[in-house]
Amino acid sequence: MSAPEGPSRQRQRVVLAERRGARMVRTRVEVQQQTEVGDAMVRGLVRAQLGLALRVALFTMCVLGAVPVLFHVLPAVADVTVLGIRLPWVLLGVVVYPVLLGIAWVYLRLAERNEQDFTDLTDD
């Protein structure tokens, strides 16, 4: 059999860098095989998560630490009663828990966003 004649069949050259999934495969392999690049990417994620945790912990300590400071600075506020219960007990026994749940919810969303950014980085 003879090859077809004329320009109807041209060879097409495929280069690895031109393929869409080439970078995605390389970055995943970098992370999975713990190469220097993958290690740097994972360290970046850990650093971002640690920074977020420290910021949220500092914010939480400031919010919760402000309650005793408020009562020390303004002692008259500590004598206020709500439904027959003194305000410090209401704040520390009831109000603190929804505040902590809200802070935890925000932390969870931000940590998931960090992980999603990392996943997007490895998938691109």
Q: For residue 44, is it left (φ>0), alpha (ψ between -120 and 50) or beta?
A: alpha
| Contact assessment for residue 70 and residue 46, using Cβ atoms and an 8 Å cutoff | no
Q: Which of 53, 24, 28, 25 is nearest to 42 (CA)?
A: 28
Higher-confidence position of 108 and 78: 108
Among 24-33, 45-54, 115-124, the range of highest mean pLDDT: 45-54
DSSP assignment string, 12-72 = ----GGGSTTHHHHHHHHHHHTT-HHHHHHHHHHHHHHHHHHHHHHHHHHHHHHHHHHHHH
Q: Is the pLDDT of residue 52 over 70?
A: yes
State the pTM of this model.
0.67
- Going by pLDDT thresholds of 50, 70 and 90, the confidence category of residue 30 is low
- Report the mean per-residue pLDDT for the chain: 81
Higher-confidence position of 94 and 109: 109
**85 sits in which H/E element:** strand 85-86
Rounded Cα gap, residues 78 and 52, in angstroms: 33
The angle subtended at Cα 56 by Cα 96 and Cα 44, nearest 5°, is 155
Instruction: Note the Cα 15 to chain centre separation in Å.
Output: 36
Break the chain into its structural domains and give their ranges.
17-123
Residue with tokens 């309650």: 67
